[in-house]
Structure 1
């Protein structure tokens, strides 16, 4: 009887435990399924978020290329997605004391801001006035530039650049040395490039900027260097480049010795070509120039060649040099010191021959301290056999030359403190001459 009474209870107890166990298993299965569903949803959300972030980065040009970004939102709101924006320039103070033998360089002239040989005064009859030295301070050569670069998926490279400085001259209405020393903004470069092509304003293809020495002055070796920035269309392939450039003819008249620009008469663009080879030893460049020289209905042609380069002499020294010669080279040499062509008394136009060059030695005493020694010269062949050559024609420039020596110290990266002593001389065809002596100092910070 006892067994009969206990058996149903045992059977009932086993059934309750089984049910409880089954309930727990079902609950665990539900939790596992919920976790699996949650994990799948999380993975989908992460994948979607990554896709959205990648799209935002591409749209903002902030792809994961390791380059620092200024901000998260696009700077070039109208530019191609993925474009790179850059900005730079420098702030430069120039302070100089000048002593000229034949009178003061005119106030407001470019020669008061930097060395321009054509502004050295030369008086008549050798009567040298008693002129005291004079001092000028300015920040006109401070500059900044903006550029936008873009590379397409197909590998095409685009670049747009504009650079300006403050060498725009003072304005009587906006300010001058009396009060605010206002200077206008001057466009130096404004061009776009596409792979091997360039269109816009920049250095002439006839000029080797890489050969210019480090000067405290704006240029320093002004007489002997080609120096032109102008609008052009250029094609470059490896070491070769060729360009069609803005034409302009400067003409002097033998009867009046007057100089004028006859650029409105030119039809054919100036043609320039250049070849450059370089290596650890430095670089060497040869350039050619072909021109149409035109004034009114009269025209002739001009051609010139320029050789230049830089030779490294060890880790601390280098030699930089340039040699130029040709007919009709005047506008391209020494800031237009000589005319491209001469108009004689019969109204015929003649190309004028000119030559110039410089040599400069650079030595670094330490990584922070260096010096540059420079000599520069230019000469022009004034043809006295031209019809109408008279007394006024002897005022034409025959020769100009200068020496420069400087010391530049950089106590911190991008900060330059420099001093330069200069001597320059301008000689006319009748052997009259005037000279310039200058102490020029600068503080320059590049960014």
Structure 2
């Protein structure tokens, strides 16, 4: 082996064994979650309450599950951050007949470079710090902004400006009393625009957001606007108050299917609110009481979710909780078959065990 070859191998070995200033750092996260859920009432069972719901004859159901377990990875290399996350909620593969297998679903897949973020993650309208701590996945979703989607965002200390994936969710206009016909989304070509202002301090944080949307289903152009306010305020000791208020043509951005963007060709207007107060009984034991509510003007739907819970940490990574609550539907509707009048409510109790990775 000549001197040149020896030197080359030595340099290669030094390169491979010396940490680079731009070496990628890996961070794994997530949790394992086991649930036991009991529902009793006239609204069909849901693994967690979202803004949808089907009225039925009064029934009772218990379900055990672990599909809310979640895994994520964060990659950091200099100024570049990548984040991806999956869970198993909503899978059509799983069933309780044999194996309860569930397919993974993509929650997040985004890249952040300095002030810019691109990829799928929380919508700029969403302030996740104001979500209530609940056993029910997502908590009072009927009163919350809760959307993940692909976007391009620029962010400073106090401002966020974003273009986000356009999608019109609703029903076509009709002159006859026929069943609803879903809007064709082939004409969604202008991104939704969101501007958000943030403030934070020792007292907590707040965000104020504005949404502008151009909806053009079937060449019937309509401009939609809406506003969102969210805050988390530290109160006494370790307690905190969490609040969200939403109004306007927010459609799918608020209530997780409690409201649509357009109803029979008419743009929908939504009023939503969410309130949660968390109290610490001790160093590791706490409770939250929460309420979420959404009302729509065109479709005349009304959804509400109330609950109270108790959580405690058995170890720093393992917590256990129990929650009871009620989910209610009170839709006024009209004479159209696709907008029936329906009223119902279901009570629920849930036990959860969660191990953070």
Contact 1:96–1:441 (Cα < 8 Å) also in 2: yes
In the alignment, the residues of structure 2 paired with residue 356 and residue 88 of structure 1 have an alpha-carbon distance, to the nearest angstrom, of 32
Aligned to 2:192: 270
Contact 1:251–1:262 (Cα < 8 Å) also in 2: no
Assess, with a 3 A threshold, how the Cα gap between structure 1 residues 144 and 199 changes in structure 2: closer, same or farther. same
In the alignment, the residues of structure 2 paired with residue 317 and residue 297 of structure 1 have an alpha-carbon distance, to the nearest angstrom, of 50
Aligned to 2:170: 251
Assess, with a 3 A threshold, how the Cα gap between structure 1 residues 261 and 333 changes in structure 2: closer, same or farther. farther
Aligned to 2:55: 122
Compute the displacement of 1:377 (Å).
0.5
Aligned to 1:159: 81
Aligned to 1:330: 251
Assess, with a 3 A threshold, how the Cα gap between structure 1 residues 261 and 163 changes in structure 2: closer, same or farther. farther
Aligned to 1:412: 315
- Using structure 1 for the length normalisation, give the TM-score: 0.72
Aligned to 2:7: none
Higher share of residues assigned helix: 1
Q: Which residue of 63, 67, 71 maps to 1:144?
A: 71
Q: Which runs of 5+ in 2 are unaligned?
A: 1-10, 334-340
Matches within 5 A, 1:335-374: 335-343=256-264, 349-374=265-290
Contact 2:50–2:257 (Cα < 8 Å) also in 1: no
Aligned to 2:39: 98
1:232 aligns with 2:151: yes
In the alignment, the residues of structure 2 paired with residue 85 and residue 122 of structure 1 have an alpha-carbon distance, to the nearest angstrom, of 47
Assess, with a 3 A threshold, how the Cα gap between structure 1 residues 141 and 401 changes in structure 2: closer, same or farther. same
Aligned to 1:307: 229
In the alignment, the residues of structure 2 paired with residue 311 and residue 423 of structure 1 have an alpha-carbon distance, to the nearest angstrom, of 26
Contact 1:117–1:426 (Cα < 8 Å) also in 2: no
- Using structure 2 for the length normalisation, give the TM-score: 0.89
* Per-residue Cα deviation, 1:189-233 (whole angstroms, up to 9, x for no partner): 001111111110000001111111111111111111011000011
Assess, with a 3 A threshold, how the Cα gap between structure 1 residues 122 and 397 changes in structure 2: closer, same or farther. farther
Compute the displacement of 1:337 (Å).
1.4
Compute the displacement of 1:53 (Å).
8.9
In the alignment, the residues of structure 2 paired with residue 358 and residue 168 of structure 1 have an alpha-carbon distance, to the nearest angstrom, of 24
Task: Report which of the two structures shows the higher radius of gyration computed on alpha carbons.
Answer: 1
Contact 2:42–2:59 (Cα < 8 Å) also in 1: no
Compute the displacement of 1:294 (Å).
2.1
In the alignment, the residues of structure 2 paired with residue 206 and residue 426 of structure 1 have an alpha-carbon distance, to the nearest angstrom, of 25
> Aligned with 2:190: secondary structure?
coil
Higher share of residues assigned strand: 2
Compute the displacement of 1:262 (Å).
3.3
Q: Which runs of 5+ in 1 are unaligned?
A: 1-50, 64-80, 106-110, 124-128, 152-156, 344-348, 383-395
Q: Which residue of 288, 299, 303 maps to 1:400?
A: 303
Contact 2:130–2:244 (Cα < 8 Å) also in 1: yes
* Per-residue Cα deviation, 1:220-253 (whole angstroms, up to 9, x for no partner): 1111101100001110011101111000011224
Q: Which residue of 126, 135, 157 maps to 1:216?
A: 135
Contact 1:262–1:294 (Cα < 8 Å) also in 2: no
In the alignment, the residues of structure 2 paired with residue 373 and residue 225 of structure 1 have an alpha-carbon distance, to the nearest angstrom, of 15
Compute the displacement of 1:122 (Å).
2.6
Aligned to 1:425: 328
- Off by >3 Å, runs of 4+ in structure 1: 51-58, 253-257
CA RMSD of aligned residues (A): 2.0
> Aligned with 1:210: secondary structure?
helix
Q: Which residue of 275, 279, 291 maps to 2:201?
A: 279
Aligned to 2:6: none
Assess, with a 3 A threshold, how the Cα gap between structure 1 residues 86 and 402 changes in structure 2: closer, same or farther. same
In the alignment, the residues of structure 2 paired with residue 259 and residue 99 of structure 1 have an alpha-carbon distance, to the nearest angstrom, of 32
